[in-house]
Chains A and B, each alone.
Chain A
Amino acid sequence: MRPQLRFLEKDLIERIISEARDVLGTLGMEIHNQQALKLLSDHGARVDSGAHHAWFTDEIIDRALSTALPGFRLYDVNGEETHDLSGENVYFTPGSAAINILDHETGTMRKPVTGDYVRYARLMSSMDNIASQSTAFIPTDVPDEVTDAYRLFLSLLYCSKPVVTGAFTIESFELMKDMQIAVRGSKEHLKEKPLTIFSVCPTAPLKWSDVTSQNLLDCADHSIPVEYISMPLTGFISPVTIVGTLVQHTAETLSGVALTQLRNPGAPALWGGSPAAFDVRYETTPMGAIETQMIDCACSEIGKHLGLPTQAYSALSDAKLLDAQAGLETSMGATLSVLAGINNVSGPGMLDFESCQSLEKLVLDNDICGLVFRLARGIEPRGDFPALPIFEELLRDGHLLISDHTLTNLREEHYFPTPVIDRANRSRWQEEGSLTLGERAHREVEQKITDWEPTGLGEMEEKELVQLMEEAARKFGLDRLPDRE
Chain B
Amino acid sequence: MDLVTRISESLQRGDNDAVSLLTAEALDKQLDPQVILDDGLIAGMDVIGERFRIHEIFLPEVLLAARAMYAGLDRIEPLLAASGAASRGKVVIGTIQGDLHDIGKNLVGIMLRGAGFEVIDLGNDVSPEAFVTTALEEEAQVIGMSALLTTTMSSMGQTIERLEQEGLRGEIHSIVGGAPVSEDFANQIGAVGYGFDGLSAVELVKRLV
| Closest CB in chain B relative to A148 CB, distance in Å | 7
A237 within 8 Å of B by Cβ?
yes
0 or 1 for each of A169-210: is its CB under 8 Å from B? (1 = yes) = 100000000000000000000000000000000010000010
A241 within 8 Å of B by Cβ?
no
Within 8 A of A (CB), among B180-204: 180, 197-198
0 or 1 for each of A101-113: is its CB under 8 Å from B? (1 = yes) = 0000000000100
Residue of B nearest to A140 (CB): B150
Cα distance A263–B152 in the bound complex, in angstroms:
30
Q: How many residues of B are counted as interface, with CB atoms below 8 angstroms from the partner's CB atoms? A: 18
A144 within 8 Å of B by Cβ?
yes
B149 within 8 Å of A by Cβ?
yes
User: Contacts A203-B100, A211-B100, A355-B179 hold; do A99 and B150 have CB atoms under 8 A apart?
Assistant: yes
A385 within 8 Å of B by Cβ?
no
Cα distance A139–B39 in the bound complex, in angstroms:
51
Cβ B103 vs Cβ A233 within 8 A: yes
Cα distance A353–B107 in the bound complex, in angstroms:
17
Residue of A nearest to B54 (CB): A281
B contact residues around A424 at 8 Å (CB): none
A contact residues around B55 at 8 Å (CB): 281
Q: How many residues of A are counted as interface, with CB atoms below 8 angstroms from the partner's CB atoms? A: 25
- Give the residue of B100, B151, B152 whose beta carbon is less than 8 angstroms from that of A209: B100
B133 within 8 Å of A by Cβ?
no
Cβ B103 vs Cβ A236 within 8 A: yes
Cβ A283 vs Cβ B59 within 8 A: yes
B contact residues around A144 at 8 Å (CB): 150-152, 154
Cα distance A242–B162 in the bound complex, in angstroms:
46
| Closest CB in chain B relative to A243 CB, distance in Å | 19
Residue of B nearest to A112 (CB): B150
0 or 1 for each of A266-280: is its CB under 8 Å from B? (1 = yes) = 000000000000001
Could you say which of A99, A233, A282 has the most chain B C-beta atoms within 10 Å of its C-beta?
A: A99
A147 within 8 Å of B by Cβ?
yes
| Closest CB in chain B relative to A471 CB, distance in Å | 19
0 or 1 for each of B35-73: is its CB under 8 Å from A? (1 = yes) = 000000000000000000001001110000000000000
Cβ A282 vs Cβ B197 within 8 A: yes
Residue of A nearest to B101 (CB): A203
User: Contacts A99-B180, A140-B150 hold; do A280 and B103 have CB atoms under 8 A apart?
Assistant: no
Residue of A nearest to B199 (CB): A283
B98 within 8 Å of A by Cβ?
yes
Cβ B151 vs Cβ A145 within 8 A: yes
Within 8 A of A (CB), among B64-112: 98, 100, 103-104, 107
Could you say which of A147, A168, A237 has the most chain B C-beta atoms within 10 Å of its C-beta?
A: A168
Cβ B98 vs Cβ A281 within 8 A: no
Cβ B103 vs Cβ A168 within 8 A: no
| Closest CB in chain A relative to B96 CB, distance in Å | 12
- Give the residue of B59, B98, B107, B197 whose beta carbon is less than 8 angstroms from that of A169: B98
Cα distance A211–B197 in the bound complex, in angstroms:
27
Residue of A nearest to B198 (CB): A283
| Closest CB in chain B relative to A427 CB, distance in Å | 45
Cα distance A318–B180 in the bound complex, in angstroms:
15
A contact residues around B198 at 8 Å (CB): 283
A24 within 8 Å of B by Cβ?
no
A contact residues around B149 at 8 Å (CB): 168
A138 within 8 Å of B by Cβ?
yes
Cβ B107 vs Cβ A138 within 8 A: no
Cα distance A283–B177 in the bound complex, in angstroms:
13
Residue of A nearest to B61 (CB): A280
A contact residues around B104 at 8 Å (CB): 283
User: Contacts A111-B150, A147-B151, A168-B151 hold; do A283 and B107 have CB atoms under 8 A apart?
Assistant: yes
| Closest CB in chain B relative to A287 CB, distance in Å | 13
**CB<8 Å pairs between A and B, sample of 17:** A99-B150, A99-B179, A99-B180, A111-B150, A111-B180, A138-B150, A145-B151, A147-B150, A147-B151, A168-B98, A168-B149, A168-B151, A209-B100, A237-B103, A280-B58, A280-B59, A353-B179
Q: Which B residues form the contact surface with A (CB < 8 A)?
A: 55, 58-60, 98, 100, 103-104, 107, 149-152, 154, 179-180, 197-198
Which 10 residue pairs are nearest across A and B when measured between Cβ atoms?
Answer: A144-B151, A280-B59, A280-B58, A99-B180, A138-B150, A209-B100, A283-B197, A281-B55, A355-B179, A147-B151
